[in-house]
């Protein structure tokens, strides 16, 4: 199954959520589970002088406003056209926010100071995860903040859109020590993932590793 079809099916069938839940993107996009990482991102943006942010996947844009100030240019990308359409409609009055359809493994990515890839590669096969990282390396992006479970001893594989924890410093990714580790203080699944983080890299460092 192609990635676009896999994630569209997941969206249509609500495999990560149920009617009445706060976000169709799953519990990680609920405010209570994203507020800590939003605070860390806000600090990172200030420290690194970030003016332009790309975000893949944007999901339903339920939590990103927590770090998104009017001085930032934000472009959200998602592989599901319906999500992009909905996000565009609900943010049409925000001149600094835009959305487009894309595939992290193959689409040309917008130039940005920072690319946020939260809860994405955990749904991709290892092969597609490597494709995504290599695609990021072909872009004009300075910093990457990406989900990693920093204490996980080894990686397993999966088939999109199924989920598993993933440590990007372990095979087959073997990324170096990150520039920064932004711990999410994750309380999902009864708190069994305290090591969930956004790890921050200069994209040039990823190029050297891959």
Average pLDDT, the chain: 92
Closest alpha carbon to 114 in 203, 210, 4, 14: 203
Q: What is the pLDDT of residue 111?
A: 97
Q: What does the block give as tokens for 20?
A: 């009445």
Residues counted in the chain: 210
pLDDT means over runs of 10, the chain (210 residues)? 82 71 73 92 97 96 92 96 95 94 96 97 96 97 98 96 95 97 87 92 96
Residue 144, strand partner residues: 115, 201
Distance CA 135, CA 39 (A): 28
Provide the pairing of β-strand 97-101 with 52-55: unpaired
Distance CA 164, CA 151 (A): 14
Q: What does the block give as tokens for 153?
A: 């001893």
Distance CA 29, CA 119 (A): 9
pLDDT in tens, 123-163: 999 999 999 999 999 999 999 999 999 999 999 999 998 89
Residue 196, strand partner residues: 149
């Amino acid at each position: 199954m192609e990635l676009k079809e896999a994630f569209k099916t997941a969206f249509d069938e609500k495999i990560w959520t149920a009617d009445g839940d706060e976000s169709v993107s799953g519990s990680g996009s609920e405010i209570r589970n994203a507020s800590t990482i939003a605070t860390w991102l806000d600090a990172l943006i200030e420290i690194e002088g970030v003016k332009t942010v790309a975000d893949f996947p944007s999901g339903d844009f339920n939590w990103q406003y927590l770090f998104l100030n009017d001085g930032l240019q934000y472009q959200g990308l998602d592989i599901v056209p319906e999500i992009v359409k909905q996000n565009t409609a609900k943010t049409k009055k925000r001149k600094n926010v835009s959305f487009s359809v894309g595939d992290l493994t193959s689409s040309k990515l917008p130039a940005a100071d920072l690319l946020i890839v939260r809860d994405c590669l955990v749904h991709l096969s290892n092969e597609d995860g490597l494709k995504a990282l290599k695609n990021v390396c072909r872009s004009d992006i300075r910093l990457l903040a990406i989900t990693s479970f920093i204490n996980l001893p080894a990686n397993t594989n999966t088939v999109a859109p199924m989920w598993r924890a993933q440590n990007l410093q372990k095979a087959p990714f073997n990324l170096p020590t990150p520039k920064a580790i932004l711990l999410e203080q994750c309380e999902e699944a009864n708190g069994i993932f305290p090591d969930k983080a956004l790890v921050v890299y200069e994209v040039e460092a990823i190029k050297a590793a891959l």
